[in-house]
Amino acid sequence: MDNITTIGLTKDANYQIGVRKTYAISMHEAWNFIFSTDGIKLWLGYKGVPIWRKGKEYTTRTGTYLCIRVYNELSHARLTYKRKDWENTSTLQMRIMAAKTGTTISIHQEKLADESQREEMRLHWEKVLGKIAAELKLN
């Protein structure tokens, strides 16, 4: 039996990616930015502020489908996420956590179709975390 593992491949044969960055701000500051009009536009590409209620559906200007699954203020939000050119849907989670030096913003996405989609989203979410730092002037 071959014990070679593929990075990001789950036992359910889906791929996942997780990125995180700690910022020198409070949890409230992080949460308020992430869920502001500017924050939503930055990480979801959605113009406006969605109503964070389970089952609410949205489509971004680029055609990405979003459906709110969970919203726990000052903790996390979980959404169904499907880009326009994808056949599959994925689960996206944005989490805010206290850290010794500020607040960690964590983005986790699962149910990705393959290694290529995983890499695409890894690069995308790393870029988003960098843009958050730039917007908050934390570089």
79-89 tens-digit pLDDT: 999 999 999 99
What's the rounded mean pLDDT across residues 119-135? 95
**1 inside domain:** no
Closest by CA to 96, choosing from 46, 45, 22, is: 22
Domain span at 42 = 15-135
**119 inside domain:** yes
What's the rounded mean pLDDT across residues 88-104? 96
Q: Please count the structural domains in the chain.
A: 1
Sign of the four-CA dihedral 99, 101, 102, 106: negative
Name the band, by pLDDT with cuts 50, 70 and 90, for residue 127: very high
Indicate if the pLDDT at residue 123 is higher than 50: yes
**73 inside domain:** yes
| The pLDDT value given to residue 14 | 87
Q: Pairing mode, if any, of strands 57-59 and 76-82?
A: unpaired
What's the CATH code of the domain at 42?
3.30.530.20
| Burial group, residue 81, by CB count within 10 angstroms (0-12, 13-18, 19+) | buried
| Residue 70: half-sphere exposure toward Cβ, Cα within 13 Å | 11
The CA distance from 16 to 101, in Å, is 27
Name the band, by pLDDT with cuts 50, 70 and 90, for residue 8: low
**127 inside domain:** yes
| The pLDDT value given to residue 1 | 43
**57 inside domain:** yes
Instruction: Report percent pLDDT > 70 for the chain.
Output: 89
pTM: 0.89
14-55 tens-digit pLDDT: 899 999 999 999 999 999 999 999 999 999 988 877 889 999
**20 inside domain:** yes
Q: Which two tokens stand for residue 30?
A: 């992080």
| The pLDDT value given to residue 9 | 64
| Helix/strand/coil for 133 | helix
**3 inside domain:** no
* Phi and psi based region of residue 63 (left: phi greater than 0; alpha: psi -120 to 50; beta: remaining): left
**5 inside domain:** no
